[in-house]
Amino acid sequence: MTASQSVEEFVARIVKNLYDLNFNKIDETLEILQRMKKSQKEKHVVNYWKVVQCLGEAAIDMFARLLDNITKTSCSGHMYSNMNQILRLLEHCLSSMAVIRRALAYKEDLLAALFNGIRQNEDEELVMTCFRILYKLLLAGKDYCAAFVKIGILKDCNSHIKCRKGLYGIYPLLTVLYCTKILWVISEFGEQGTKGMIIKSKAYKELCSYVENVHSPVKGTECLVSEMHIIIARIKKCPKERTASGTTRTWVPKVLLYEDIGQKDHAYIFCSSPSCRKQQADGKKILYCGDCRLARYCNEECQKEHWRSDHREKCLKRIRKEKKT
């Protein structure tokens, strides 16, 4: 993003590159976003979160369409790496529960692409990206735990952990870490009896044996291994003990998401009105669109302005209605 470019212009450019399937440019964008996120300058970091929120609000439907097209039409050897690039960009956008819920309005296309991605062996990075996104989608609610189990996520976790035994590079470790996170979320927040099912599952047994056998992880990846240990300990914890100690089972997807994407200190949330995009202070009461409860505003003026400019067309409530008819 250049100094003279506004966030809206930068996002419009990304959308155009996606539309043109210009993968060189998409690659460039991924690098720029990574640099912005990691920047020492607060200004760049704020712009990063603004860009990804803005892109998520503007283009989720496009991501779903592109993924659907690529899997159906593409037969070139680039299919998986192209899919991976689009998904990596999508992953940046899944930076708030609002955008994740918006993405789930297109769950048929998205889940088809993601499960397709973890059920191929050609592109290891794609497998990892897909597991990371599946974890984020899972945070949207308990219903998805049951749905993922039905699609066969336990079998997928099992086979991926199994074939990574003895491999402790960054990709295998990250893939196994996200399998671990997925197993944990399902065990914790799935319906009654799910925890027992997870502990008895082959995937969980493979996971325990994978972690026990990590001897010399690649330098710099030790933290991934200790994270796995922490999560496995959480899975092991007996649910009865938890109730006895008075801990209630609360679903705090927001906290888990912020942990995952590195927004630990405070949330970066911006007004959804393109002409405003002001950062919302922590703890400040935010106004939501009454129809979708996803678009967020500083005040009624911003809400009205956005409704007039394009939210009338893009409000999720309207999209859901259209999909039903």
What lies within 8 Å, CB to CB, of 210 at 6+ separation is: 161, 164, 165, 176
Residue 152, helix vs strand vs coil: coil
Taking contact as CB under 5 A, which single stretch among the options 31-39, 233-241, 262-270, 299-307 is the one that binds Zn ion? 299-307
Q: Please state the closest distance from residue 103 (CB atom) to Zn ion, in A.
A: 15
Stretch of 48-56, 173-181, 246-254, 309-317 contacting Zn ion, by CB under 5 A: 309-317
The reply on whether position 292 binds Zn ion by CB under 5 A is yes
Q: Between residues 86 and 292, which has the closer beta carbon with respect to Zn ion?
A: 292
Residue 302 found at the interface with Zn ion (CB under 5 A):
yes
- Closer to Zn ion at the Cβ: 151 or 319? 319
Which segment (101-109, 190-198, 220-228, 313-321) binds Zn ion by CB under 5 A? 313-321
Given a contact cutoff of 8 angstroms between Cβ atoms, the answer to whether 186 and 194 are in contact is: yes
DSSP-assigned states of every residue in 153-182: HHHHHHHHHHTTTT--SHHHHHHHHHHHHH
* In the complex, least distance from residue 57 CB atom to Zn ion, rounded to whole angstroms: 10
Closest CA to 263 of 247, 279, 285, 287: 279
Binding mask 234-273 for Zn ion (x = CB under 5 A): -------------------------------------x-x
Q: How far is 224 from 218, CA to CA, in rounded Å?
A: 10
Q: Which one of 149, 257, 289, 296 is in contact with Zn ion (CB under 5 A)?
A: 289
Question: In angstroms, what is the minimal distance from the CB of 193 to Zn ion?
Answer: 37
- With residues binned 3-state (H G I as helix, E B as strand, rest as coil), the percentages for the chain, rounded to 5, are 70, 0, 30
Kindly list the distances between the CA atom of residue 7 and the CA atoms of 1, 115, 182, in Å, as whole numbers in the listed order: 8, 33, 33
Scanning 32-40, 121-129, 179-187, 301-309 for contacts with Zn ion by CB under 5 A, the matching segment is: 301-309
Q: C-alpha distances in angstroms, 8 versus 182, 274, 314?
A: 34, 7, 17
User: Can you give the binding site for Zn ion, defined by CB under 5 A?
Assistant: 271, 273, 276, 278, 289, 291-292, 295, 298, 302, 315
